[in-house]
Amino acid sequence: MNRKPGILLIFRMIIVLMLLIVLLPFLSIMTVLLVLISFGKLRNFLVRWVGFILGRTVLALAGVRLNIRYHGKKPDQPAVFLFNHSSTLDMFIVISLVQVPTRFIAKREFHYNPFFWLLNKFLGNIMIDREKSRASVKKMHKAYDYLRKNRISLVFAPEGTRSQTGEIGPFKSGAFRTAMELEYPIIPVYIEGAYELCPGKSLVTRPGVVTIHIHSPIDTSVWDRKQIRSHVREVRNMYLDWSGQQ
């Protein structure tokens, strides 16, 4: 992983970046048009297929194959999905896995790319500023009724940002509070191998296999709000076990 990238690897990355330069504007414009023409009725369809096309195309060109393992039944209910975050690949992996109606929590940094902004805005993803926690919480609360009514899932990275070491970082409580507010179960998704192929914020990706472990739902209806830190710690300990950190 510490070896310098060879010419073929650099060439592959140039092709991936060129693809993004072409594909991202195309998907953004098509998404805006289809959402407007359908008066928003195609949002769930577009979240699933735009994410699948963008994510799987980038991964395929980068030489990354996904091995998806379900530890329990395949998710078929609205839930809060959690995933560990240690690689640039994670974004493309997660958006390509959508099976049920889903929205993503998008961080403010995506606003600087107009095409990512268009996709997030018109697909109904929730864009938050991590430095303005009160405003972010208020925005989340406004979305709750819509999410419940339409049985829409949410996807969170509970660490809040990418781990630069590949290890599981501290978990923030926001995703857990949201699950309790929505009365949704939590579905832990453990991404294994992404850091080894593309560590941290690197754009250089080595070909290989990433294994996605999708675990059984965790019932949050029996959780005590006063014990939220304990619940966060319990779930994080699962990730520590899966990663071999404890």
Q: What is the pLDDT of residues 199-226, one digit of tens each?
A: 988 888 999 999 999 999 999 999 998 9
User: What's the CATH number of domain 7-243, 1.10.540, 3.30.70, 3.40.1630, 3.40.1130?
Assistant: 3.40.1130
pLDDT at residue 135 in the model: 66
Banded pLDDT at 7 (limits 50, 70, 90): confident
Phi (first) and psi of residue 52, to 5 degrees = -65, -45
Q: What is the pLDDT of residue 65?
A: 96
Residue 151 CB neighbour total at 10 angstroms? 12
Q: What is the pLDDT of residues 23-81, one digit of tens each?
A: 889 999 999 999 999 999 999 999 999 999 999 999 999 999 999 999 988 888 899 99
